[in-house]
Structure 1
Amino acid sequence: MEKLIEYILRFGSLNQQQIDFIKSKTTELELNKDDYFSEAGKIPKYIGFVLEGVFRCCYYNNKGEEITNYFIDEYSFVSDQQKFDAQVAATDYIQAVTDCKMLVFSKKDWDALSNTIVDWDRIAAKITQKCLTDAMDRRSPLVSEDGTTRYLSFLEKYPMIINRVPLSYIASYLGVTQQSLSRIRKKIR
């Protein structure tokens, strides 16, 4: 719980009463490896803060291939924010890559924070912006780089999850085949 509060306080100040209110609105949730936090075609139920574990955001392209957009690990928020806010069906999947523990807010509880804490919307907007910026920073350079450079960038940006994520997900994220990824890994060892 303290990690969540530390994270939120990076984006604005709160008094003890507001912090206690936030704590009262969280629920602990555990997901097993391969469980979905959010699924395409369903309305997202929660916004989550990851305490333990790794998630991936993915979708299926028009060829039916699974594409991993990005990974989310400890002490980060995870959500399909736009779909959650609008309460419309998600178009992407958010899947637990490992067993995960998290603190979650339901739509009702998230709205209660917004309606009760004076500066909450501004804090939440800053958190959302940071999450989007992080996702874009991790993704955008991949378009113009070769496979080896993309893999080295992945190692730099996700040093704590390289051994926790299946190679097939990493290959999908990098836009290479699993065989190509194996060759790249052998070449740089």
Structure 2
Amino acid sequence: MDEFFAYLLQFGSLNPQQLALIASKTTPLVLSKDAYFLEAGHVSRRVGFLLEGVLRICYYSKQGDEITRNFIDEMHLTTDLRGLEYGLASPEYVQAVTDCRLLVFAKHDWDELAHTIVGWSEMVHKMTSKHLREKLARISPMVSQDATTRYQEFLDNYPQLANRIPLSYLASFLGITPSSLSRIRKNIR
């Protein structure tokens, strides 16, 4: 819980009573590798904070190919905002790449925090904005880069993820085939 409190306090101040309320609303969750935090077609009714492990956000293309859109590592939130805020079914899956440990808030508890803690909504807005900036920084440059550059930049920017995720997921994220990624890795060594 201390890790989550340290994370929250980056975005605003909370007194001991508020921290106790937040702690009372969390439930620990262990996800085994390959288990889903959220499945496509379901409405997200919870928010998770990843304490340990790696999650991926993925979907299936019209051709049936599995596409990895993003990775989530420790000290980040995960949810589907469209579902949480508007009750819309998620078009994507959130799947454990490794065994994961999370703190989870049910939607009604998350909403209660917004109604009870002055400044909570502003803190959530700051968290969401930070994660959006990180996601854009990870994805935006990839559009105009060749595959080798995309892979090298991924290694440079996210070295803690490179050895924790299967090559097939990384290849999908980079927009290349696993065999192309193997060739790139061989040429870089």
Moved more, 42-51 or 178-187: 42-51
CA distance in 2, matches of 1:81, 1:167: 28
> What is aligned with 1:44?
44
List gaps (5 residues or longer) in structure 1. none
1:73 counterpart letter in structure 2: D
Runs of 4+ in 1 over 4 A off after TM superposition: none
In the other structure, the counterpart of 1:129 is 129
Secondary structure class of the residue paired with 2:162: coil
Q: Which moved more, 1:83-92 or 1:100-109?
A: 83-92
Q: Shift of the alpha carbon at 1:84?
A: 1.5
1:187 alignment counterpart: 187
| Per-residue deviation, 1:111 | 0.7
Within 1, Cα distance between the matches of 2:81 and 2:29?
A: 18
Per the TM alignment, residue 131 of structure 1 is displaced from its structure 2 partner at its CA by: 1.1
User: Which is further off, 150-159 or 177-186?
Assistant: 150-159
Aligned length: 189
The residue that corresponds to 1:74 in the other structure is: 74
CA distance in 1, matches of 2:29, 2:87: 20
Is there any run of 5+ residues in structure 2 with no aligned partner, and where?
none
One-letter code aligned to 1:155: L
In structure 2, how many angstroms separate the alpha carbons of the residues matched to 1:89 and 1:58?
Answer: 14
The root-mean-square deviation of aligned C-alpha atoms, in Å, is 0.9
Give the percent of matched residue pairs that are identical in Structure 1 and Structure 2: 53
Aligned-partner Cα distance in 2 for 1:18–1:87: 27
Q: Give the aligned residue type for 1:3.
A: E
8 Å contact kept, 1:48–1:77: yes
Q: Deviations over 1:62-98 (max 9, x none)?
A: 2111111111111111111232122221111110000
What is the alpha-carbon distance in structure 2 between the residues aligned to residue 48 and residue 112 of structure 1? 16
Q: Secondary structure at the match of 2:181?
A: helix
> Partner residue of 1:9?
9
Residue 48 of structure 1: how far off its partner (Å)? 0.6
Rounded Cα–Cα distance in structure 1 between residues aligned with 2:158 and 2:103: 22
Aligned partners of 1:82, 1:12: CA distance in 2, in Å?
Answer: 24
Contact 2:45 2:83 in 1 (8 A): no
Q: Normalization by structure 1: what TM-score? A: 0.97
Aligned-partner residue type, residue 97 of structure 1: V
Of 107-116 and 152-161, deviating more is: 152-161
TM-superposed CA distance for 1:15, in Å, is 0.9
Matched, 1:116 2:116: yes
- Contact 1:59/1:67 (8 A) holds in 2: yes
What aligned pairs does 1:76-155 form with structure 2 within 5 A after superposition? 76-155=76-155
